[in-house]
Amino acid sequence: MIASVIVDVPAKQIDRTFDYLVPESLHAVVRRGIRVVVPFGPRKIQGFILSIKDETTIKNLKPIEEVVDIEPVLNDELLSLSEWLTEQTLCYRISALQVMLPAAMKAKYNKYFHLLDDHDIPVKIKSLFEKESPLTWKTADAHHALKDLQELIRQRKVEMRYVVKQSANVKKVRIVELSNEDIEVSGNAKKQLLIIEELKKTGGKLSVPALKELTDATSAVIKTMIDKGILIESYDEQYRDPFSQRTFDKTEHFKLTDDQQKAITPILEKVNSFEQQTFLLHGVTGSGKTEIYLQTIDQVLKQERQAIMLVPEISLTPQMVQRFKGRFGDQVAVMHSGLSVGEKYDEWRKIHRGEVNVVVGARSAIFAPFKRLGVIIIDEEHEMSYKQEDSPRYHARDVAIERSNRHGCPVILGSATPSLESFARAKKGNYQLLELEYRMNNQDMPEVKVVDMREELREGNRSMFSRDLLEEIAKRIEKKEQIVLFLNRRGYSSFIMCRDCGTVMQCPHCEVSLTYHRSKESMKCHYCGHEEYVPNECPECTSEHIRYFGTGTQKVEEELFKLMPHVRTIRMDVDTTSKKGSHEKLLNAFGRGEADILLGTQMIAKGLDFPNITLVGVLSADTMLHLPDFRASEKTFQLLTQVSGRAGRHEKTGEVIIQTYTPEHFSIELAKSQHYEWFYQKEMMMRKTAQYPPFYYISLITISHENVNKAAGVCSEIADILKAKLTDQSIILGPVASPIAKIQDKYRYQCMIKYKNEPELKSLLKKILDQYSHTGKDAVSINIDVQPYMMM
């Protein structure tokens, strides 16, 4: 019996199967989709069994060392999906397999030195082994002992062993129970008697932490009882439950409005007939998309099938978790970046074991190992976070459609502001368009006011708040209503500049300006993490007039405090929400009315839904508009529409104030009238003229190298190859320097391909990738994104 294995080495030459002999003892367990540990050269590594066969042309087969799983971790569908993913995104097969599993299941590798013969070995080495045996590579390296050890290995006095460890860890809890033996306990041992009593009361078995809680006993007491044989200890697997502290109120179906009923009918038809169909559910905020999702899932569950619901960064919407857990109880697994590695692993195991039937999660939840999918839902379909930016560079929407084809089930893409690609496909009939035109309860859309900041400046207002905004803020505070202030991106544009010579402090390794961080009085690079203190004098002209410019959230907070010292503000940005759970804590505090103003970046644009918010202010609508990205207008429109949706979601009507320097720009004008269809028409015209998606597909090749000329040269070679091989209907742009020309001391050049129909492109790109991804002295690093969302 022979197994074909994909090993855990992401490299060009290793990107294929290797055959291994299956030892007799493992015949019963070894199957496709099981992880194994195999010898690979001198070391041992983890791998996935892709197939089992009887013969091979390879001589000198090595045997599989051990199996990691009893049950396959990837089923046939996911294994074949990984093949599709490899072809689609031009990634290594191992990366495609790895991305489908929680991070906890990635192997860890350790090297240990074992002492075989301690005669005639250096004193230094001997003492190391006395302190630690086996000796880890790390300590050996720390004591500069690797050289000596290498020599001892040659003399066969020391051996190096490679150990594959699972970073996955099943949480175990210690359980104690009463033994059957009748052992006398002295009347003085009050704690022991109490423990026995408690155990009898609860059926004879309790976890140690629970027992300690109940009886206030110490570990010592329990240990004594185990040693005496009164108690028997054992271990039990346990799930880490991130929601254990919370209860979810059971919620019932809402009665659907006619509008909603009209939308859900065709979806349920496809669910019932087991047919694939992609629906684009277009409905403004508050039009009741979530209830449609919930009732569709309900139908799917009745058929004993399963559902995947994707949301962008779910930790940001505890309210969404609430709604799902409330409706479906413990049938729901939750998967998002806010969970610890162990928690994610546990949620995954619940899915894998079939203990839950619904998963609500971020991008990677699209790979949930369900066997009978009944529906896949992608909420806020237009969100960029559905595209993974490193290998495998997949878009969750594409994976969803691919999986739905394999399972015969519908996909629902929901959004108030669909991506142009999706809306165009819906108009063409590739997707079925479902419109929700009315808000539930017939609420009015909030009134949106655009303030021209140039006008403010002309009239002598040089602050970052327009007079209108300040006035409205004051009004709400008087009425005890709440306000959300929105600012683009953390520390965006809060660069540091010398006022005398205009020098802007830049990262020495990347071509970006450093961002000022008040808390540490330092400047940080957002691309490589480089950090340094703000200099006392300008490195160029030695002037001392150094100050920071731009408006970070911290600065807004300060200004706000200067203008209205009595106003309570909660600031939400990366700095204040980095700690686990702090995000929710801040939001809850705001929900309880502990602050008047919620000030934040991107992260507050989604999901928050508090009845008392009646004013939303966007401090600078155009920061995003001027990014070097053809989707800049689309993103601005989506963001403004979404932010506006935060105001007046309940009885009180809301108002939105958008501050901008370009009020005439159509994405700002149309965000004001909240007219998606007009925006779509206008933006489509722009895209057509500029030859961008959805009229053209694009692919992006990025070359990076320490030497500028090398990077540019290779990129130009590649452009030439493309020009020669592709049809003349395709457009090849570049090579040009990447918008971020240097990251971590490597210069970046890129080349963009725009095409409509180029059946050979994938294989050509694969060829180029092979040709240039060799490892050598002057090797460049090459990256290909087949369908990029970030142009940087």
Task: Point out which residues bind DNA (CB under 7 A).
Answer: 9-14, 18-21, 38-43, 56, 58, 60-62, 111, 147, 162, 775-777
Q: Rounded to the nearest whole angstrom, what is the least distance from the CB of residue 64 to DNA in the complex?
A: 9
| DSSP class of 520 | G
Q: Rounded to the nearest whole angstrom, what is the least distance from the CB of residue 13 to DNA in the complex?
A: 4
Q: What is the CA radius of gyration of the chain?
A: 30
Pairwise CA distance, residues 376 & 368, whole Å: 11
Asked if residue 703 lies in contact with residue 715, where contact means CB atoms within 8 angstroms, the answer is yes
Looking at the Cβ atoms of 11 and 541, the one nearer to DNA is 11
Q: Rounded to the nearest whole angstrom, what is the least distance from the CB of residue 12 to DNA in the complex?
A: 7
Give the number of other CB atoms < 10 A from CB of residue 59.
5
Q: Rounded to the nearest whole angstrom, what is the least distance from the CB of residue 11 to DNA in the complex?
A: 4
Pairwise CA distance, residues 557 & 577, whole Å: 16
Q: Rounded to the nearest whole angstrom, what is the least distance from the CB of residue 9 to DNA in the complex?
A: 5
Residue 678 Ramachandran class (φ > 0 left, ψ -120 to 50 alpha, else beta):
alpha
Looking at the Cβ atoms of 90 and 453, the one nearer to DNA is 90
Positions at the binding site: 498, 501, 507, 510, 525, 528, 538, 541
Q: What does the H/E/C string look like for 359-417? A: EEECHHHHHCCCCCEEEEEEECCCCHHHECCCCCCCEHHHHHHHHHHHHCCEEEEEECC
Looking at the Cβ atoms of 22 and 175, the one nearer to DNA is 22
Q: Rounded to the nearest whole angstrom, what is the least distance from the CB of residue 156 to DNA in the complex?
A: 13
Looking at the Cβ atoms of 200 and 766, the one nearer to DNA is 766
Q: Rounded to the nearest whole angstrom, what is the least distance from the CB of residue 4 to DNA in the complex?
A: 8
Q: Which residues are CB-neighbours of 716 under 8 A, at least 6 positions away?
A: 735
Pairwise CA distance, residues 140 & 319, whole Å: 51
From 242, 289, 227, select the one nearest 263 (Cα to Cα): 289
Q: Find the helix or strand (DSSP H, E) in which 484 lies.
A: strand 482-486
Phi and psi angles of residue 158, each rounded to the nearest 5 degrees, phi first: -130, 145
Pairwise CA distance, residues 345 & 167, whole Å: 10
Looking at the Cβ atoms of 12 and 200, the one nearer to DNA is 12
Q: Rounded to the nearest whole angstrom, what is the least distance from the CB of residue 673 to DNA in the complex?
A: 52
Looking at the Cβ atoms of 38 and 436, the one nearer to DNA is 38
Distances (CA, A) of 33 to 400, 410, 443: 21, 27, 52
Q: Which residues are CB-neighbours of 509 under 8 A, at least 6 positions away?
A: 525, 528, 530, 742, 743, 744, 745
Task: Go through 200-218 and write b for each residue having 16 or more CB atoms within 10 A of its CB, e for each that does not.
Answer: eeeeeebebeebbebbebe
Looking at the Cβ atoms of 161 and 626, the one nearer to DNA is 161
Token pair for 488: 């683009």
| DSSP class of 731 | E
Give the number of other CB atoms < 10 A from CB of residue 606.
21
DSSP conformation letters of 666-701? HHHHHHHHT-HHHHHHHHHHHHHHHT-TTTSEEEEE
Looking at the Cβ atoms of 756 and 774, the one nearer to DNA is 774
Positions at the binding site for Zn(2+): 498, 501, 507, 510, 525, 528, 538, 541
Looking at the Cβ atoms of 429 and 776, the one nearer to DNA is 776
Q: Rounded to the nearest whole angstrom, what is the least distance from the CB of residue 510 to DNA in the complex?
A: 21
Q: How far apart are the first and last CA of the chain?
A: 48
Q: Rounded to the nearest whole angstrom, what is the least distance from the CB of residue 94 to DNA in the complex?
A: 10
Q: Rounded to the nearest whole angstrom, what is the least distance from the CB of residue 108 to DNA in the complex?
A: 11
Pairwise CA distance, residues 381 & 403, whole Å: 17
Pairwise CA distance, residues 397 & 411, whole Å: 9
Q: Rounded to the nearest whole angstrom, what is the least distance from the CB of residue 89 to DNA in the complex?
A: 17
CA dihedral 517, 519, 522, 523 (to 10 degrees): -10
Asked if residue 336 lies in contact with residue 361, where contact means CB atoms within 8 angstroms, the answer is yes
Alpha carbons within 13 A on the beta-carbon side of 303: 20
Phi and psi angles of residue 31, each rounded to the nearest 5 degrees, phi first: -150, 165
Q: Rounded to the nearest whole angstrom, what is the least distance from the CB of residue 775 to DNA in the complex?
A: 5
Looking at the Cβ atoms of 120 and 227, the one nearer to DNA is 120
Looking at the Cβ atoms of 37 and 334, the one nearer to DNA is 37
Token pair for 59: 């001589």
Looking at the Cβ atoms of 147 and 428, the one nearer to DNA is 147
From 687, 670, 690, select the one nearest 679 (Cα to Cα): 670
Looking at the Cβ atoms of 428 and 777, the one nearer to DNA is 777
From 702, 98, 704, 168, select the one nearest 394 (Cα to Cα): 98
Looking at the Cβ atoms of 150 and 430, the one nearer to DNA is 150
Looking at the Cβ atoms of 7 and 711, the one nearer to DNA is 7
| DSSP class of 35 | E
Q: Rounded to the nearest whole angstrom, what is the least distance from the CB of residue 38 to DNA in the complex?
A: 7
Q: Is 250 exposed, middle or buried (0-12, 13-18, 19+ CB in 10 A)?
A: exposed
Residue type, 13: Q
Q: Rounded to the nearest whole angstrom, what is the least distance from the CB of residue 748 to DNA in the complex?
A: 18
Asked if residue 253 lies in contact with residue 290, where contact means CB atoms within 8 angstroms, the answer is no
